[in-house]
Structure 1
Amino acid sequence: MDNNKSETSNSRRNFIKTTALAAAGFMIVPRHVLGGRGFLAPSDRLSVAGVGVGGKGESDLTGIFNGGKSDISFLCDVDDRRAATSVKRFPKAKYYKDYREMLDKEAKSIDAVVVSTPDHNHAMIAMAAMQLGKHVYVQKPLTHDIYEARMLTEAAKKYKIVSQMGNQGGSGEGVRKLQDWFDEGIIGKVHTVYCWTDRPVWPQGIQWPTAQGTMPKELDWDLWLGSAPYKPYVDKLVPFNWRGWWDYGTGAIGDMGCHLVEPPFRILELDTPISVECSVGSVYVDEFRRGYFPESCPPSSHVIMTFEKNKHTKGNLQMHWMDGGIKPERPEEMLPNESFGDNGTLFIGTKGKMICDTYGANPRLLPLSKNAKDHTKPKATRVPGDVEGHYSQWAEAAIAGYGKIALSSPFEMAGPLTETLLIANLAIRGTDVQRRRADGGISYPGRDIKMLWDKQNLKVTNFDEVNQFVKREYRKGWSLGV
């Protein structure tokens, strides 16, 4: 392992050991001592702007407001219908439809920006805010593309801003307890991890609608598309089903991976994978023909990511991602009537196993009878163990200033985690590319590929056709700004 990787690993480990500062408070110091753009005196309140303020954006802003010391000063959404609840809840907040106009006109009055839009617009909004010295909270997954994730990670450090990704389980008690058990050596060194989900719960593996929809007057479709290629408006894409289309979403792993992969990624101090392979489910046009719909994510997938050996693993670690209802074999330690769950993460070590639900919640050792035994007192540093804690630690850190308070999921952690999930998506999309090449456009299931990943150069070294998905081309008029 090179020195840079070692330093990064140690730094990430320190997130867990130092996050108690977020709960312990901080010293009140004069503004001139903190200095620089993007820094507030701790006695001040945080002026927050939300971009994408309906649905999850609404709950994000509510959590940040309830966390204390934050004023929701500006709201921005391309759809007035989705924004209505937030507009009513925060009547003093000024409302915009275009985030660019908001940042241009209100830059001096904004301290921090919350980005809760669809995946394809995360990066350019967050980058624009960071370049103005604004602290950012960005919903998971951090970005749509691998290149974007790398650029945001570097920008957070360059512009010295306080960053947090919206995977609230990273601040939860469950992950801390898993950390304690692992550090105690109860399960030994880990060689295999399984992560599974019942997602997608939206349509995937389908043909793009042929009928043009009736656009709601409250929606600015061009602004909603943002960086994505122009297409006429279709019904039932907004506000949720965009997740199943590659132009906008990142599929099941983009939706749930940050919640399910985060515990092993953090606890085992993983870096991005060195190789990835997968197979995907197929769909039928009729009883004789399998369909091929490259614009849509597949209905199910099984991805195997291989991570380089480190001090916490027994050899190279294999992580299995399963979605669309695919689940790993039931652990033999579980009794027939003990629940395995539709979403979860399973660690398999040299001495034992541990399992948790989404967000790292409900952690337990296997067999479950082990959980009745006493173990050593908690060692991993605690932060407020709920959704509000994830928000409040970011707000407190933003008020204190860059580098003053550690967080659970800053971009230094969230960036590599997001890269990992999007590398898995490269394999999923690469499977389709390979099928077309081998079968003349006819899609068949079970044709696995194994791709070798070059982290330094952000590319697959043995299957160049998938590198087109590492960094997509933005629609004319839209830019990441780097």
Structure 2
Amino acid sequence: MKKNHKANNRRAFIKKTALTSLGISIIPRHVMGKGYIAPSDKLNIAVIGGGGKGYSDAINAWNNGASNIAAICDVDWNQSKRLMDKFPKALKYRDYRKLFDDVKNIDAVTVSTPDHTHAVIAMAAIKSNKHVYVQKPLTHSIYEARMLTEAANQYKVVTQMGNQGASGNGVKQMIKWFDEGKIGTVNKVHVWTNRPVWPQGIHTPTDKPAMLDGLDWDSWVGPAKMVDYHPLYHPFKWRGWWNFGTGALGDMGCHLIDPPFRVLGLGYPTEVESSVGAVFKRDWSPEYLPESCPPSSRTQLKFPASAKNPSEIKLTWSDGGLRPFHPDLIPADHPIGDHDSANGVIMIGDKGIMTCGTYGVAPKVYLNNGDLLTFEDTEKSTLPESGHNASWVEACKDGYGKEKHKALTSSFDYAGPLTESVLMGNLAIRSYNLRTQKGNRFEYPGRKKLLWNGETMKITNFDEANQFVKRTYREGWTL
């Protein structure tokens, strides 16, 4: 049977005309080859996840018209309404797979969905040769982080994770102080947060409320285990469930662990151990809540010496309102970390102590001789997330491996190992409450120090913990 070339050409013409009428350039930048400059030097960006953080990610990438928001995809258009109203000419989708099938003129993608769908969406973008910006944490599992890092290099796309403090002047100042030897060699680090600020340590819901109008629940669940819709999952409260979120560590770890990770040049940890806050029944026996992240936890990661720091480091993470106590060198009436001590970082060296708040803001150095070094950022424009996102946009225009790409502060080459280290803490937290029944009592074999081989992504002394390295995707979903 002969192909109808006239019909095919007509369909192509209609599609081209329709997209052009929306103000979208048909030919993406990368197709035109080296040296080509798109109209007004704008990227065509697809926004996947347009509510909450997705809104600000889109606005920052758009940057007052410096880029074109060509498409918006969200499984719940109610969440993205504000963004869709702002960009009425953008093509609208519920399924990112259909977006990638239909629209070939996209240069770059922002991914601001719940944690459990970061990897599958980002990988689809990478395999479609799209540059990609992904909210923190980069992925839901350690394995996903490793795969995205390798794929970004294989497909040669420009990447950035949304831990905006990495581009701030506070972190830059901390690197400068450390490289100048102000605090000497570090062997202890404390990091903490007041998160969770959403429900954790709670029972899995069993009631079945009515589905939200316009919500594509099957697509929202994506690669995770299917459960019935419940407002305890969507919107926002998904963070407290292992099926979808990564708890307090996943929410704030990529922000708060970033300064010591970057300043000290850390790599894969070698050991991890956790202690988890309990929830008790009325008879004072502990609840078993394997699907809900705990209300509080403490985790210690051990890192080997690095090229920048000639000592192994023990990094202690605390959440749920727990925080470290004042080191003797910090005056009793000085807040540690943020102004209210709710979140922060302390790096303890043999010559002094370095501290900062969330996103590396307001860093200080307390020297052993009693001197105090402070930093007041006078270039606020380089601190907000807009700069972190805008630098990714400019790097996309510059191209993979070029100067602007190499200057990105959280491309996947860096963000991947950082995310793996953060999620290593969650592996220990989840292993802590694994239990086996022996007669009338339970045993908890995961309540020990876990030894990690970063190259092979494997716990070497407790094989059952390795189930948390890589999740099993629901049928129909692949990475």
TM range (shorter): 0.7 to 0.9
Structure 1 residues 374 and 109: CA distance shift in structure 2, 3 A:
closer
Structure 1 residues 455 and 447: CA distance shift in structure 2, 3 A:
closer
CA contact (8 A) 1:292 1:443 kept: no
CA contact (8 A) 1:67 1:391 kept: no
CA contact (8 A) 1:283 1:291 kept: yes
Q: Distance in 1 between matches of 2:184 and 2:381?
A: 26
Superposed counterparts of 1:183-262, under 5 Å: 183-262=179-258
CA contact (8 A) 1:145 1:471 kept: yes
Aligned counterpart, 1:420: 421
Map Cα deviations across residues 300-339 of structure 1 (whole Å, 9 max, x no partner). 1110000011243352110001101111121222333222
Q: Distance in 1 between matches of 2:439 and 2:188?
A: 33
Aligned counterpart, 1:462: 461
- Structure 2 stretches lacking a partner, 5+ long: 1-28
Structure 1 residues 372 and 146: CA distance shift in structure 2, 3 A:
closer
The RMSD of aligned alpha carbons is: 2.5
Which of 292, 305, 311 is the equivalent residue of 1:296? 292
- Normalising by structure 2, what TM-score? 0.87
Deviation of 1:207 after TM superposition, in Å, equals 1.0
Aligned counterpart, 1:61: 58
Aligned counterpart, 1:172: 168
1:103 lines up with 2:104 in the alignment: no
Aligned counterpart, 1:79: 76
Deviation of 1:206 after TM superposition, in Å, equals 1.2
- Normalising by structure 1, what TM-score? 0.87
Structure 1 residues 192 and 123: CA distance shift in structure 2, 3 A:
same
Partner SS state of residue 114, structure 1: strand
Q: Distance in 1 between matches of 2:443 and 2:146?
A: 32
Look up the equivalent residue of 1:302 and give its one-letter code.
Answer: R
Look up the equivalent residue of 2:309 and give its one-letter code.
Answer: T
Partner SS state of residue 284, structure 1: coil
Q: Distance in 1 between matches of 2:458 and 2:351?
A: 36
Deviation of 1:442 after TM superposition, in Å, equals 5.0
Deviation of 1:370 after TM superposition, in Å, equals 3.2
Structure 1 residues 273 and 215: CA distance shift in structure 2, 3 A:
same
Q: Distance in 2 between matches of 1:99 and 1:177?
A: 40
Look up the equivalent residue of 1:458 and give its one-letter code.
Answer: M
Deviation of 1:289 after TM superposition, in Å, equals 1.6
Aligned counterpart, 1:51: 48
Look up the equivalent residue of 1:460 and give its one-letter code.
Answer: I
Look up the equivalent residue of 2:389 and give its one-letter code.
Answer: Y
Highest relative contact order (Cα 8 Å, sep 6+), 1 or 2? 1
Look up the equivalent residue of 2:421 and give its one-letter code.
Answer: T
1:145 lines up with 2:141 in the alignment: yes
Map Cα deviations across residues 61-95 of structure 1 (whole Å, 9 max, x no partner). 01111265211110000011101000011111111
Q: Distance in 2 between matches of 1:452 and 1:67?
A: 49
Tell which deviates more after alignment, 335-344 or 216-225.
335-344
Q: Distance in 1 between matches of 2:37 and 2:401?
A: 13
Which of 375, 395, 398 is the equivalent residue of 1:397? 395
Partner SS state of residue 234, structure 1: coil
1:130 lines up with 2:131 in the alignment: no
CA contact (8 A) 1:139 1:166 kept: yes
Sequence identity (%): 50
1:281 lines up with 2:277 in the alignment: yes
Aligned counterpart, 1:432: 433
Structure 1 residues 188 and 177: CA distance shift in structure 2, 3 A:
same
Q: Distance in 2 between matches of 1:136 and 1:144?
A: 17
CA contact (8 A) 2:48 2:112 kept: yes
- Structure 1 stretches lacking a partner, 5+ long: 1-28
